[in-house]
Structure 1
């Protein structure tokens, strides 16, 4: 019998994940605060719910994909939330990116209420969610992981159990640290190339074939070259994630000097009004610091 799955949060990542679950043959019910997203899921063959309680009451698996720690806490613990309305034994897979300590606390509350919690933050961006090839970092009980692998395989390609509750979120924080650093250096490299009037598109192509190549370069260089920063992953969310990194580093007694600088640059970009842009929009702050036009690339040499 196909599992019944509830997806709470049908945003840039949650909606394509829900659609892929429908395509995989699961019975999917979705809830989102914006009703147009629910309608889009219904068009794709899913079922819409008018509340979290309605979405989760008959679910075998509940997946949450919401912005931040307080949002996850509200979805789990609220009167209309998962604990109050899901049946005992329901799997709760939190694909949101939140603080590891909050994840650990909420997982304990969920398990005490008879649920089976897993933290399962993802990486791969909007395109990875659309293509169903996300990287999934799993924290929780290995036995629970085994029982939901069919669900996870419908949305992800690289699926790795990394430890107990909270471990997935810790690995995701490390992922966001690396991604933000790569974006910052990619932005600086493009500024450097443009300042010397190189054929920047040709340069990016050859860089992508060498040791400097990365998924960040593959997915974000064109956005920077085109100065087109429609969000796949918003800077405001990456700013939140960098806050998670710096907070967790302090708790562990670590000094992350490069990460701290990148966190400040991301925070500055958000503070100056670019929080709704894709995280490649960090380029705009770095361009401004160099006195370059953040909206217009110089002409390459003939």
Structure 2
């Protein structure tokens, strides 16, 4: 089945969608993106993603291509026409192009940003087999740029990290900088020790995860203790359990770090409970 996608104001078959080869998203990775999950045909935490999109655009002095209400309408229409029950909506905004390659930003008065959206059908997203057994991660150096709080399309090293993990027989990688864990390749990282949830505090060093924010609120409401501080990979290896959060994985238990088994090697109690709470509350609030 050919998907319907959205490009610069038009709904098109994916086979007819085109973007200029001079677009700065293509040439310079001068673009930001968001991924919104769909469960039961509804958008999960759309408002959070819209707010973060605006922040990313503002940080890069990039114009918004449309209003929040217009963005919501586009999301809903793509979900409907593509028949998405469980899946994802990918959104990307680039600075566009004024017709040729240049390191200097084009004039925002004469250059419109490029906006692209498409859906991905992911049956079984909520009942992921990986969440039932947990995932394994390895540690790798974090050599990305230092504005990781902006959700840009500079994803080459995270992709390389996932390939390093695959080569090592693991599912993902946690990134290490100055001796401390920053985050996963595409998720925020946590471990649990003696009932306390430990995660790195927000800064320019990590993405300000929408799912992270929701899960931490839910954990507090469930009277779980959260400690935001720097932590080492060795601390995480000695944890009772660990997990990651992201818009597409929700709460994903981690059962092994660098080959070291956590607990009994199965998803931990806190990670499983937070996943249950997150899915239940998110479905109730979905739009």
For the criterion TM > 0.5, the same-fold answer is no
- Greater Rg by CA: 1
Higher share of residues assigned helix: 1
Higher share of residues assigned strand: 2
TM-score of the two chains, using structure 1 as the length reference: 0.30
TM-score of the two chains, using structure 2 as the length reference: 0.31
